[in-house]
């Protein structure tokens, strides 16, 4: 099984470091800063063999140039539909990324919405989804439409329920707060609140999470649940005729009244 650990960056980012147990070569996902990465690699006696990028925002790619200065020539994979100058390999839906240092391959998924060309990496029972899906939340629609994001989240929701979700930020408790606005009586959500609150009080990351738990508690994956749809319609003040409208109302509600 892959060994995946977070390298904290900025105030709430996670740079994911992937390796085989006992191996010295690692792969990084979304290194927004080089300094904490280089410190961690030095501490553990590891070397960087490849980088995976999900989208173009600076807190996800800002460290790549500095890392390439130390590890020149390593492959940098990322979305073909975004302008990221540091990429050596561009990817779209259906591509496979074979990482020899890990002995595994990841399937590429197009998941636009947060940005126009956002991608995710799926394989070995894990999903690296950047800012598309968060623990109990989802990314803001900076460049995409509600329909695009709803399609992307539906694609993720169709993965096996035991998929481990590696998102890029520690937003979970804040996201749970909004989810409780939407479904205040959801017992799974209330239990999650207690569990994740306890983790944070102990300084333990709340991610990864299981897709099964997201399907039980995340309002942005539960827009077809009657109680969630009713809450969205109450906020919107009118009937919502399709899934994208329900999702869009939930996203607008969080943006305008919660965040």
Task: Note the pLDDT tens digit of each residue in 41-65.
Answer: 999 999 999 999 999 999 999 999 9
Task: Give the residue, 259 or 93, on which the prediction is more confident.
Answer: 93
Choice among 49, 59, 110, 193 that is catalytic: 59
> How many domains in the chain?
1
User: CA-CA distance, 141 to 227, in Å (whole number)?
Assistant: 23
Residue 243 falls in the annotated catalytic set: no
Query: What value does the mean pLDDT of the chain take?
Result: 98
The answer, yes or no, to whether residue 259 has pLDDT greater than 90, is no
Q: Note whether 113 and 139 are within 8 A (CB).
A: yes
Choice among 30, 49, 60, 118 that is catalytic: 60
Q: By three-state DSSP, how is residue 255 classified?
A: helix
Q: By three-state DSSP, how is residue 159 classified?
A: coil
Choice among 55, 56, 193, 196 that is catalytic: 55
Choice among 110, 131, 151, 196 that is catalytic: 131
Q: What is the CATH number of the domain that holds 215?
A: 3.60.15.10
Write the pLDDT tens digit of every residue in 222-254: 999 999 999 999 999 999 999 999 999 999 999
The kind and range of the H/E element at 232 are: helix 226-236
Write the pLDDT tens digit of every residue in 61-107: 999 999 999 999 999 999 999 999 999 999 999 999 999 999 999 99
- Tell me the residue range of the domain where 184 lies: 3-258
Instruction: Please state at what angle helix 172-182 crosses helix 187-201, rounded to 10 degrees.
Output: 160
* Cross-strand bridge partners of residue 72: none
The answer, yes or no, to whether residue 1 has pLDDT greater than 90, is no
Structure tokens at 213: 């738990």
Mean local confidence (pLDDT), 131-150:
98
Residue 114 falls in the annotated catalytic set: yes
Q: Is the pTM of this model over 0.95?
A: yes
Choice among 30, 49, 56, 57 that is catalytic: 57
Choice among 30, 49, 110, 169 that is catalytic: 169
Residue 60 falls in the annotated catalytic set: yes
Non-local (6+) Cβ contacts of 216 within 8 A are: 186, 188, 189
Mean local confidence (pLDDT), 147-158:
98
């Amino acid at each position: 099984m892959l060994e995946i650990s977070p390298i904290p960056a900025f105030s709430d980012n996670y740079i994911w470091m992937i390796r085989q147990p006992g191996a010295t070569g690692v792969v990084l996902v979304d290194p927004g800063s080089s300094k904490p990465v280089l410190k961690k690699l030095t501490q553990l006696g590891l070397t960087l063999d490849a980088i995976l990028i999900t989208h173009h925002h600076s807190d996800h790619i800002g460290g790549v140039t500095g890392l390439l200065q130390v590890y020149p020539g390593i492959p940098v994979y990322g979305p073909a539909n975004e302008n990221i100058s540091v990429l050596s390999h561009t990817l779209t839906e259906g591509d496979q990324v074979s990482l020899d240092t890990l002995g595994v391959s990841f399937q590429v998924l197009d998941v636009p919405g947060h940005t126009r060309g956002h991608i995710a990496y799926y394989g070995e029972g894990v999903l690296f989804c950047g800012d598309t899906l968060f623990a109990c939340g989802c990314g803001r629609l900076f460049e995409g439409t509600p329909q695009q994001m709803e399609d992307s989240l539906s694609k993720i929701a169709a993965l096996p329920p035991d998929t481990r979700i590696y998102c890029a930020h520690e937003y979970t408790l804040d996201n749970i707060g909004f989810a409780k606005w939407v479904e205040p009586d959801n017992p799974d959500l209330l239990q999650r609140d207690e569990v994740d609150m306890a983790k944070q009080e102990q300084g333990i990351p709340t991610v990864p999470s299981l897709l099964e738990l997201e399907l039980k508690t995340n309002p942005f994956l539960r827009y077809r649940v009657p109680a969630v749809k009713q809450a969205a319609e109450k906020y919107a003040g009118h009937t919502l005729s399709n899934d994208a409208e329900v999702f869009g109302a939930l996203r607008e509600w969080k943006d305008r009244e919660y965040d």
